[in-house]
Amino acid sequence: MADAESALAEHFEELPQQRDAAKLGMWTFIATEVLFFGDLFMGYIVNRLAYPQAFALASHHTVVLFGTINTAILLTSGLTMALSIHAARADNLKLSGRFVLLTIALGLAFLAVKGLEYHEDFHEHLWPGSHFRPDLPAQAQIFWFLYWVMTGVHSVHVIAGVLVLCIIAWMIARGRFSAEYHTPLEMTGLYWAFVDVIWIYLYPLLYLINRYAAS
């Protein structure tokens, strides 16, 4: 059984204070991350307004099936993550651990699908540069550049999340957490929700908008 006392760092007075600090820290970090992605969203908006037709044509070539599957996978992983925290609060650490493992599996599934999609994109000559598809307008490269950077940076965040979740799973297995103390699990859940939300914006921007408008 986890000992809540041992989790308290020496510079905190009590556990709730430490938990509040961690929570505020994670929210602050997420605010930073929003601005980090915000830069790319701004680049997307500016170029989309500048070259609406090229962006519409370029977006036809994203593989909407893969994107949709991945959306389903990631949203489901958000559910399993939340259920894991729920289970921990109810002091059912065993169940909590299982949900974490499920979340890890879904995260890996997302990355696998993304890998397949990248493979196909690459073969379709959608990597900007000299080998870019000649049938698309030049500005379509900007769309595809943003596609690779935005999904790439997002995937890096998924990988980071999966790695952290592995540590969390290990901590649960070692009996570090209890109903009173499972702050790292909760913080990882917050982070995972953020990764989810970013994808919820990326999916329509890259796969859906204008897809059927001009052809």
Question: What residue ranges bind other proteins (CB under 8 A)?
Answer: 9-13, 17, 20-21, 24-25, 28-29, 31-33, 35-40, 42-43, 46-47, 50-51, 128-129, 138-139, 141-142, 145-146, 149, 153
In the complex with other proteins, which residue's Cβ is closer, 93 or 140? 140
Closest approach of Cβ 35 to other proteins, in Å?
Answer: 4
SS3 content of the chain, % helix, strand, coil (to 5): 75, 0, 25
Whole-number minimum distance, CB 80 to other proteins, in Å? 28
Closest to other proteins by CB, 97 or 186:
186
Q: How far apart are CA 69 and CA 72, in angstroms?
A: 5
Closest CA to 146 of 124, 133, 119, 127: 127
Our CB check for other proteins shows the closer of 40 and 101 to be: 40
72 Cβ contact partners less than 8 Å away, ≥ 6 residues apart:
none
User: Which one, 43 or 193, has the nearer CB to other proteins?
Assistant: 43
Q: Which helix (H) or strand (E) holds 33?
A: helix 15-50
Element (H, E) at 79: helix 64-89
Cβ at position 108, least distance to other proteins in Å: 25
